[in-house]
Amino acid sequence: MPAYHRPTCLREALDLLAAAPAMQPLAGGTDIYPARAAAEAWLQPRDQPLLDLSALPDMAGIAEHPDHHRIGAGTRWAAIRDAGLPPWFDGLRGAAARIGGRQVQSRATLGGNLCNASPAADGAPPLLALDAALELAHREGRRRLPLRDFLLGNRRTALAPGEIVTAVIVPKPRHAATARFDKLGSRAFLVISLVSVAVTIEAEVGRIARARIAIGACSAVPQRLPGLEAALAGQPLAMAAAVPEPAHLAPLAPIDDVRASADYRRHAALVLLRRALAPPMASAAT
């Protein structure tokens, strides 16, 4: 058993991490424990000390502020799934309801999902479509970093040595907004996404004022589609589903693997996009 620490304040956690930068932060453990078990099975035990963040105050919970919502990094997906949030969080709540099964949702955390940095992580696309940023704490203070700059690649993030993700910051939209999330997998639950799609639409007078589109599991990191977002701006809500074309998926770089081919992923992404933009999305954004 590696060394295990469970600090009760953020300063203590940051001091421990500064003293032992190789220490592995632990939130819900739904990624760490299976990975460690698999390593043990292959006679490659991991002896990194663990830094359990579950006892830190202010690491969980959802708070509304005048221009944003703050979601603690330790907030469980079940809490996000069941939260009474505005319509522009419907995509994130939809992802929360499909991450693993209900047992996983009751343990897994928002911050852990993002820091694990899987290309197929279901939490990242809806947050990208919300223009979310991360609140990062270190011994010298705190900083904010857009999620698009935090995710660098498969299992790679911009988290600096000695930093801990403490919250996700979601700005409020300027117009009436709604969101949707959908994913494709081999079954409904406990499945890694082959493709995931997140859409946030802001509307004014029956037309799209702003669109934010993100695709997961089709690149080394989930990707926004700026070309499609620009093409959707100004379009009537009722016509949104007709706008996406194969050319809009050019930023994606899907791979062939045992679960699906690159061509299948690209085709599925287009189908899911058109579904996500179809009614009742159009009527819900008015």
Residue 220, C-beta contacts closer than 8 angstroms, at least 6 positions apart: 119, 153, 154, 253
Q: Residue 177 in contact with residue 201, Cβ under 8 Å?
A: yes
What is the reported pLDDT for 286? 57
Question: How many residues in the chain?
Answer: 286
What is the reported pLDDT for 40? 79
What is the reported pLDDT for 212? 98
Residues (pLDDT < 70) of the chain are 1, 188-190, 281-286
What is the reported pLDDT for 282? 52
Picking from 83, 75, 22, the residue whose alpha carbon sits closest to that of residue 53 is: 75
Q: What is the CA radius of gyration of the chain?
A: 19
- DSSP annotation of 159 reads P
What is the reported pLDDT for 247? 98
What is the reported pLDDT for 217? 96
Structure tokens at 229: 């977002």
- DSSP annotation of 81 reads H
Does pTM top 0.85 for this prediction? yes
What is the reported pLDDT for 30? 85
C-alpha 39/C-alpha 35 separation (Å) is 6
What is the reported pLDDT for 193? 94
Picking from 181, 220, 185, 212, the residue whose alpha carbon sits closest to that of residue 197 is: 181
C-alpha 76/C-alpha 83 separation (Å) is 11
